[in-house]
Amino acid sequence: MASEEDSLASIPRLEFLGASHRPLLDLHPLRCANHKSSSADTPSANTPNAKTQTDQVGGDHTDRYATALRNNKEWAAQTAREYPDLFPTLATGQTPQILWIGCSDSRCPETTFLGLKPGDVFVHRNIANVLHPGDLSSAAAIEYAVQYLRVKHVVVCGHTACGGVAAAMGNKNLGILDPWLLPLRQLRERNLDLLQSLSPDEATMKLAELNVREGLNIVKQKGVVLNAIQERGLELHGLIYDVGSGVLSELDTQDSEEVIRARLTAFKTE
Ligand SMILES: [Zn+2]
């Protein structure tokens, strides 16, 4: 693998989240509504696909926001033509089969790389797909998806070149990210000998894998999840997404009988 590319893909993105980044709340809600109408905003059948493709590929300096709004209109029209029932159906509700817990990383758009459509995946993403046991946001997403949407699959997905995982493998002070990444550092501490026996790239990947496994453990310690597993066969999966190839790998996350019995004894509630 191109280790230089990997490090460029991970470390700078973490730095991008640091103090030098412009304020995240520097938003202008009315800009979209008041956005000046121009020919560039008007969907056109004459818009060459090649131009759109060029705009979407990284490396140039095209303004992504303006391009995105233009793309949206084209995408909505094309999707409505290809799947006439999709939007009317979605307007009445959602019945996703998958709860996806992944990283916020821009390179990990789950619905896109799964080849699925709006309505197929209920999503919770955060930096480094960390699941804190007391985190209200992820807990609410999991409970809503499992108990009310009755998803059939829960996926926890990590990925290669994850900036959050790389940060937890380093020792820089990262401000608010430090408490967020605490579970990753705890995994690093608990698996120090193993991680130190590996190359830096291998160790980062191993920590990403351990993080997925730990995330699944957190999910499986929730009463609604244990009930759904027992009562209707809810399935849990651990995946790693390779941002350099677009390919998913499935981790073997099968628990032993002993682990399952201990978990049920400790966490099953009435
Ligand atoms: Zn990540």
Q: Which of 6, 103, 108, 188 is catalytic?
A: 103
Q: Which of 6, 13, 124, 162 is catalytic?
A: 162
- Name the token pair of 61: 């300096």
122 three-state secondary structure:
strand
Rounded CA-CA distance 100/90 in Å is: 19
- The pTM for the full model equals 0.79
How big is the chain, counted in residues?
Answer: 270
Q: What is the pLDDT of residue 122?
A: 98
Residue 103 appears among annotated catalytic residues: yes
Asked if 226 and 268 touch (Cβ cutoff 8 Å), the reply is: yes
Residue numbers belonging to the annotated binding site: 103, 105, 159, 162
Q: What angle do CA 226, 232, 233 make, to 5 degrees?
A: 75
Question: How many CA atoms within 13 Å lie on the side-chain side of 118?
Answer: 13
Q: How far is CA 253 from the centre of its chain?
A: 19
CA of 215 to the centre of ligand 1 (A): 14
**Strand ranges in the chain using DSSP code E only, listed in sequence order:** 98-103, 121-126, 153-159, 235-242, 247-250
Strands 121-126 and 153-159: unpaired
Query: Cβ contacts of residue 216 below 8 Å, gap of 6+?
Result: 156, 236, 238, 253
Q: Which of 107, 108, 124, 157 is catalytic?
A: 107
Q: Which helix (H) or strand (E) holds 120?
A: none
Q: What is the pLDDT of residue 59?
A: 56
Per-residue pLDDT of the chain (270 residues; tens, 9 = 90+): 334 333 333 333 333 333 333 332 333 333 333 333 333 333 333 333 444 444 444 556 679 999 999 999 999 999 999 999 999 999 999 999 999 999 999 999 999 999 999 999 999 999 999 999 899 999 999 999 999 999 999 999 999 999 999 999 999 999 999 999 999 999 999 999 999 999 999 999 999 999 999 999 999 999 999 999 999 999 999 999 999 999 999 999 999 999 999 999 999 988
Q: What is the pLDDT of residue 269?
A: 85
Q: How far is CA 115 from the centre of its chain?
A: 15
- Name the token pair of 138: 């992820």
Q: What is the pLDDT of residue 104?
A: 98
